[in-house]
Amino acid sequence: MERNFEEKGQATILEEGEIFFFYRPRADSGISGAEAEEGQIFMVLHPLRKSRYRLIHLGKQYPPALKKSGPRIQASIDKVMASLDELRAELVEQESWSGNRGKRARPAALQVGEGIYALLKYRDNTHLVYALDDSIRENGLLEEMGIAPEGGYTTSVRNPDTSDASGNAKHPDFPRHLLERFRGRESIPIDPIEFLNEEGAELLLTGISNDPMEDLGIEFNSRNGSRTDHSRGQI
């Protein structure tokens, strides 16, 4: 995979690579009503020339706080894996047993989008911008999930010592040098990128309403999107 972004303004590229979106239908547990599980939306970031796959759970979307901003999404880093095979194993159908609910089937996650992304530092913020392949847009699930074919988010990582409990099963165990960067603040930009390699880290993504490429001074060198070999089917 070649570099796909070029700096044209004041923004600095911290990382770029491949991005994937997945939808996992709710588990078939025989439960209906308020206790039934909802489907899950995942984003995967695969940095350029690195054996690393970050599986990020995208949580509930909230209306924009200001008219000039887009929706806010709470997210969490579920797993950080070293190979494509590990990622595939995490996304396939699995069965589990619960003493309260009995046998439960966890459906396979469906790949609904793939393309390229860049994580940028612009002034005092960090941003995630991406563009998805045309061939993946036709399935209609992206629109239902509220994911635009091209878009961007202002990104921040939450301080595990001050943020409210979000129901995340994991608690990030940040090394000391990362914890010191918070200095008591509830959230900070994702700089250094090392924050994204910590399982359990909680993120806040705020949509950029205008064209993020133009606003941040970034140009695509290519619109070909993902270059991963998918000869075995989805991812």
Average pLDDT per block of 10 residues along the chain, 235 residues long = 60 92 76 52 95 93 58 92 96 75 79 92 90 73 80 93 61 92 95 96 86 62 49 50
Q: Indicate the SS3 state at residue 101.
A: coil
What integer pLDDT is reported at residue 164 of this predicted model? 59
What integer pLDDT is reported at residue 149 of this predicted model? 86
What integer pLDDT is reported at residue 139 of this predicted model? 65
Please report, for the chain, the start and end positions of each structural domain, with discontinuous segments joined by +. 5-220
Structure tokens belonging to residue 100: 């309260």
What integer pLDDT is reported at residue 128 of this predicted model? 94
Look at residues 55, 60, 23, 17 and name the one whose alpha carbon lies nearest to residue 40: 23
CA dist 22 and 56 (Å) reads 10
CA dist 162 and 184 (Å) reads 8
What integer pLDDT is reported at residue 12 of this predicted model? 86
Residue labelled with tokens 């089917």: 233
Residue labelled with tokens 């991406």: 130
What integer pLDDT is reported at residue 233 of this predicted model? 43
What integer pLDDT is reported at residue 151 of this predicted model? 86
What integer pLDDT is reported at residue 223 of this predicted model? 47
CA dist 4 and 18 (Å) reads 10
**Parallel, antiparallel or unpaired: strands 94-98 and 69-81:** unpaired
What integer pLDDT is reported at residue 72 of this predicted model? 84
